Amino acid sequence: MSWQIRYLGKPLVFAACLYPVLHLLAGAFGLAGVSLGADPVAVMLHTCGKWTLNFLMITLCMTPLRDLTHSTLWLRFRRMFGLFAFFYVLLHLTVYLVLDQAGKLGALWQDILKRPYITIGMLGLVLLVPLAFTSTAKSQRRLGRRWTRLHRLVYLVAVLGVWHFWWQVKKDIREPLLYACGLTLLLGYRLWKERRSLVKVGAGRLARTDGA
């Protein structure tokens, strides 16, 4: 089982995760009959942004799926999905900086200061950096419980990401609303689990006191 995941499951999933960026590259160079339409820069920007959110959502699905299926198989893919979220957000920023703003760093800095949706987007990206750097098994071992606490930052990052999307939509909020609902479910599940375990612990303590 372990062997199959490592040499079959993971490479296949990895290749699938690259599909969006390969599609964009084909479109940018006019390969394989792919076209990005009249405004390729906007398509690249939005595709990378949406896949960042998609991968954040997928990453957050792994724990509920483990609980639901009683299988830890899911957790073996969690790091890859998280790192793909980071990969796509870096591409998102690169497209914005190099293609949209034509490499004007001053413009980016001004946007960060002046545009709230860019401020929170950048904040989300910056918060992902320590998570990406401590994603190795070695870091996980070294940081121990602190690793778990640190990586809870991903909840905040996901909230900032959806917020960033919501704020730049002109009027049709269907898509950001969908992400917001999904995220509410995923985070709500964790809150519910936490409360339930607290109640359990509390009840256990109470029972012990009674017995004493």
Partner 1 sequence: MRKDKSMRKTWLQSVKIRPSDITPEHRFLSRRALLAGGAGVAALGALSLTGLTRRALGQPAAAASEAAAGAAGALTFTRNAAYSVSEPPNSYQDITTYNNFYEFGTDKSDPAEYAQKLRTHPWTVSVGGECEVTGRYALEDILKPHPLEERIYRLRCVEAWSMVVPWVGFPLGDLLKRFKPTSKAKFVEFKTLYDPAQMPGQRRSVLPWPYVEGLRIDEAMHPLALMVVGLYGKVLPNQDGAPLRLIVPWKYGFKGIKSIVSIRFTERMPGTTWAGAAPSEYGFYANVNPAVDHPRWSQATERHIGGSLFGQRRPTLPFNGYADQVAALYSGMDLKRYF
Binding of partner 1 by 211 (CB under 8 A)? no
Max Cα distance, the chain (Å): 76
Nearest distance from C-beta of residue 90 to partner 1, angstroms: 18
Q: Given the rule CB under 8 A, which of 34-42, 139-147, 149-157, 187-195 is the region that contacts partner 1?
A: 34-42
By beta-carbon proximity to partner 1, the closer residue of 111 and 153 is: 111
One character per residue 151-190, x = contact with partner 1 (rule: CB under 8 A): ----------------xx-xxx------------------
With respect to partner 1, which residue has the nearer C-beta, 25 or 180? Answer: 25
Q: 3-state SS string over the chain? A: CHHHHHHHHHHHHHHHHHHHHHHHHHHHCCCCCCCCCCCHHHHHHHHHHHHHHHHHHHHHHHHHHHHHHCCHHHHHHHHHHHHHHHHHHHHHHHHHHHHHCCCCHHHHHHHHHHCHHHHHHHHHHHHHHHHHHCCCHHHHHHHCHHHHHHHCHHHHHHHHHHHHHHHHCCCCCHHHHHHHHHHHHHHHHHHHHHHHHHHHHHHHHHHHHHHC
Q: Is 46 in the site for partner 1 (CB under 8 A)?
A: no
Quote the least distance from Cβ 38 to partner 1, whole Å. Answer: 4
In the bound complex, what is the minimum distance in angstroms from residue 87's beta carbon to partner 1? 20
Cβ closer to partner 1: 116 or 188?
Answer: 116
Q: Does 208 bind partner 1 (CB under 8 A)?
A: no
Q: Does 138 bind partner 1 (CB under 8 A)?
A: no
| In the complex, minimum distance from the CB of residue 110 to partner 1, in angstroms, rounded to a whole number | 8
Scanning residues 58 to 117, which ones bind partner 1 (CB under 8 A)?
98-102, 104, 107, 110-111, 114-117
Report the chain's terminal Cα–Cα distance, integer Å. 47
- Quote the CA–CA distance of 24 and 100 in Å, as a whole number: 15
Residues in contact with partner 1 by CB under 8 A are 28, 37-42, 98-102, 104, 107, 110-111, 114-117, 167-168, 170-172
